[in-house]
Amino acid sequence: MLLEQFNEADRAEAIAVLRPCVDVTRWCEHLADHRPYRSIDELVDEAEAAESPFTAEEVAQALSHHPRIGERASGQSTEATLSRAEQAGLGQGDAELARAIAEGNAAYEARFGRVFLIRAAGRSAPEILDALTERLDNDEASEDVAVAQQLREIAVLRLKGLISR
């Protein structure tokens, strides 16, 4: 969608465009309600700060749509398509690496009670495994901050892909 179309869309349509970026209603509404944007950069700046911090309930809602890292999202939704593209660098070529990520996912879920979230786009599987291993040492508060930051990074990356000049 072009920025001009996004600016001119009705509120419900604008929110629907934003929801695959991150399923946080306050964030989507904030960006829709602060239109028009003069540039993509202005929209991105607003997106990076909008409705911060996310509440625990908002994070849980947003995470409910994310597959485990290393697993392919199913379905034909915009969000599933974006997730598959973002995780393209996590090919199944290295069985040992895939097993280590799966074990890391299980350890993370046991420790924190949610899926491990990281902006996978632009990261290699070894980089993601290193981050997963490192974040297992976080306390709850530190990990909450890390997850919220990753949600924002993913949202902004998706926003840039969905809305263009």
- How does the average pLDDT of the chain come out, rounded? 88
The rounded distance, in Å, linking the Cα atoms of 19 and 65 is: 11
What total of structural domains would you count in the chain? 1
Residue 157 has pLDDT above 70, yes or no: yes
Predicted model pTM: 0.83
Its domain, for residue 63, covers: 3-162
Q: What are 141's two structure tokens?
A: 């508060």
Residue 92 has pLDDT above 70, yes or no: no
Query: How would residue 87 be classed by pLDDT, with cut points 50, 70 and 90?
Result: low
Contact 138, 117 (CB under 8 A): no
Residue type, 124: S
| Whole-Å CA distances, 121 to 74, 110, 127, 139, 155 | 18, 25, 11, 25, 12
CATH of the domain at 95: 1.10.3330.10
